[in-house]
Structure 1
Amino acid sequence: MQVFYATQFVLPLPPGHRFPMEKYRLLRDRLAAEVHDVQLMQAEPATDGELALVHTPGYIQAISDGSVDPRILREIGFPWSPAMADRARRSVGATIAACRAAFRDGVAANIAGGTHHAYPDKGGGFCVFNDAAVASRLLQAEHARHQRRPLRVAIVDLDVHQGNGTARIFRDDPTVFTLSLHGQKNFPFRKEASDLDVDLPDGTGDDAYLQALERALDELAHRFDPGLVIYLAGADPHEGDRLGRLKLTWDGLEARDRRVFDWAWQRGLPLAFAMAGGYGHRMEDTVQVQVNTFAVAAAYARRWHNRPR
């Protein structure tokens, strides 16, 4: 299973900043040591042309040269630096590469990504560019060179925060289905309309969450026929997350991952996933949730490799 990373590009954040940048390096190190059949590969940056499939030229330029409006920087939550701009491009590039690899291998991943709060002309909530949106549009363009039927993409967003930017980008696009399971009272407080939103009350635990997920995937299958799945496997529904407000256990999150991977496997759908959010009181808890996701993914990647040709 190919896994793309940009962990060597670290944002210079001020002391006390609440974004856990170190989690990406810790995850990469643990994957290299513990998860078999994973090929770690450095991500290339997304180009201006690729980003422009979703984002406005002015916003792309402003992020590139540092002229971005200070109000937008406050919404993003990161100070501007050349490293911030480069890492944002590579995070998108990693999801693009994972989607391409998923068509070859069945399953592939981005160690970071899941930047679903980014709109065409602005970022927000620690998201600069929208990786799933750019990857969807680019893979659709590449697919159109060889196929008459447009590539239909299902974005299954299981970060605890609603994918408002993604919902806005694709709200009038019948070729992309946006599904978001998220905390009803959590950020963003003004939500957009996804194709399917499932609002969960604070304190939702394993059983209620998994039942809601099952119903949502059934409805997705009833309403839409995708050719690619992009899965945002947020660690922040975990009961130990500082920002999550839900109560999923280790076992509940692993069951969540198995259900999504199995849903795609049963339909023969390539699946690319990104790690999205995770803000545990203990960073090692966030990393453990993510390692568990990769272990599930690697098992399904082996099934793809061994399937009858």
Structure 2
Amino acid sequence: MLKIAWSQLYSHPLPEGHRFPMEKYALLPEQLLYEGTVTENNFFEPDFLDDKWILTAHDFSYLEKLKTLSLSRKEERKTGFPLSEQLVRREINILDGSVKACEFALEYGIAMNIAGGTHHAYAGHGEGFCLLNDIVVSANYLQAKGLANKILVVDLDVHQGNGTAVLCQNNPDVFTFSMHGKSNYPMHKEKSDLDIALADHTRDEEYLDLLERNIDFILKGFSPDFIIYQCGVDPLASDKLGRLGLSLQGIRNRDSLVLNLAKSSGIPIMCCMGGGYSPQIRDIIEAHAQVYRLAQDIFF
């Protein structure tokens, strides 16, 4: 059964006009239920992850600043979010969703988190709409529990997973692979194990060719036993923060390629959603919904 993490906290309200589309976290499960891709039984509600696991990736002092709402104005602005107790609870809730989705993926082959993919969070600060890094916390949890040994992070959000890259640099058993816009945020790129920087307006054919060749190379050389897939939909041509040129079908083909490789290789995969900032919310929802349909078709 496809298991999907979702919580009411995911849709934390933001000030009117804020460019981060929180409403997608409520609309996406509604769409999946409406079209019959999933039922209520597919969803599970995450709890709040224990601090000991958060501290495998983040500094104690930073976590305390978040919990006591004592970030400086500069630190708060860097995250892109107005800091609040509810927002911090949301982030810790998302972490638990990704960790538990990893456990479900080990059981069923795949599991998803409606939120997550917070790849810009560093050990001691947040940025780019990310306060805490669910990808790295999940990888650390899997390894500490002996549930996985070699983890591949496939990050296909249009923005480089800079926080993830830095946090995993000293762990040879986590391979970070990021395909992202060369000229996009963050302007200073960190060093992943493999970075593919793409020119503005890169389209489907070139993108998919690069992805297939490189992920095949990684699977053969690194031999992971678990994949964490950050499947942001901001490479869409319509995305106002993206600058790439993928079509909706191109995003679907991208997700199909990754999920089929995981299935055929027998590697459990956890998918977290990442970014999506198209002007029309329906385009964001449709782009995200595709990966859930593919998960059902390929794995169940």
Matches within 5 A, 1:59-70: 59-70=62-73
1:122 matched to 2:120 = no
**Could you tell me how far apart the structure 1 residues matched to 2:156 and 2:110 are?**
17
Letter in 1 for 2:154: V
> 2:55 aligns to what?
52
> 1:96 aligns to what?
99
> 1:15 aligns to what?
16
**Could you tell me how far apart the structure 1 residues matched to 2:167 and 2:91 are?**
18
Give 1:78's match in structure 2, choosing from 68, 76, 81.
81
The answer (yes or no) to whether the contact 2:37–2:292 under 8 Å persists in 1 is no
Shift of 1:120: 0.6
1:290 matched to 2:288 = yes
> 1:158 aligns to what?
156
Give the aligned length: 297
> 2:258 aligns to what?
260
Shift of 1:37: 4.5
In structure 2, the CA distance between the partners of 1:9 and 1:158, relative to structure 1 (3 Å rule), is: closer
Identity %: 38
Shift of 1:68: 1.6
> 1:191 aligns to what?
189
Q: Provide Cα deviations, 1:268-300, integer angstroms capped at 9, x if missing partner.
A: 000000010000110110110001111011112
Shift of 1:32: 1.7
Q: RMSD of the TM alignment (CA)?
A: 1.2
The answer (yes or no) to whether the contact 1:152–1:226 under 8 Å persists in 2 is yes
> 1:305 aligns to what?
none
Shift of 1:10: 3.4
The answer (yes or no) to whether the contact 2:227–2:268 under 8 Å persists in 1 is yes
Equivalent position SS for 2:298: helix
**Could you tell me how far apart the structure 2 residues matched to 1:158 and 1:224 are?**
18
Shift of 1:301: 2.5
| TM-score, reference length from structure 2 | 0.96
**Could you tell me how far apart the structure 1 residues matched to 2:268 and 2:298 are?**
11
Equivalent position SS for 1:143: coil
Structure 1: gaps spanning 5 or more residues: 145-149, 303-309
Letter in 2 for 1:213: L
The answer (yes or no) to whether the contact 1:35–1:295 under 8 Å persists in 2 is no
**Could you tell me how far apart the structure 2 residues matched to 1:8 and 1:115 are?**
16
Equivalent position SS for 2:11: coil
Letter in 1 for 2:3: Q
The answer (yes or no) to whether the contact 1:160–1:234 under 8 Å persists in 2 is yes
Give 2:297's match in structure 1, choosing from 296, 299, 309.
299
> 1:272 aligns to what?
270
Structure 2: gaps spanning 5 or more residues: none
